[in-house]
Amino acid sequence: MAFSGASVKAIQYYKEIKSFYLAKERKKHKAIAKTIVAQEIAKICYCVLKTKTDFNNTFKGKTLSRRKSMQWSRFIGTSPDA
């Protein structure tokens, strides 16, 4: 369920992931295409956790156009360690 939700947001915010999704959607059903994106995100998470390295900001060999900001904007005035 978590990767399914992540795939919906990834398709929405990253044009590289959206183009991969649209290519899969042309050949398969919409739900199957979303599941394939979720599976790719799960593979990325597995590799990051297995190798204990930082995410290299790529999806299927393409560099993602957006980068996660390092600021903690949700709770202004507090740090994530608090």
More confident residue, 80 or 37: 37
Q: What is the mean pLDDT of residues 25-40?
A: 92
Count of domains observed in the chain = 1
10-14, 36-40, 54-58, 68-72: which is most confident: 36-40
| The model's pTM | 0.72
Q: Which of 44, 62, 64 is nearest to 54 (CA)?
A: 44
Q: Assess if residue 11 is contained within a domain.
A: yes
* 79 belongs to a structural domain: no
Residue 6 in any domain: the answer is yes
Average pLDDT over residues 41-63: 81
The verdict on residue 23 lying in a domain is yes
Instruction: Indicate whether 81 belongs to any domain.
Output: no
* Domain membership of residue 28 as a residue range: 2-63
- Residue 22 inside a domain? The answer is yes
Residue 74 in domain:
no
**Coil, strand or helix at 7:** helix
Mean per-residue pLDDT of the chain: 81
Task: Tell me which residue of 41, 18, 45, 40 sits closest to 30, measured CA to CA.
Answer: 18
Task: Please report the pLDDT score of residue 53 as a whole number.
Answer: 80
Would residue 33 count as lying in a domain? yes
Q: What is the pLDDT of residue 44?
A: 85
Q: Can you point out the beta strands (E) in 2-73?
A: 58-59, 62-63
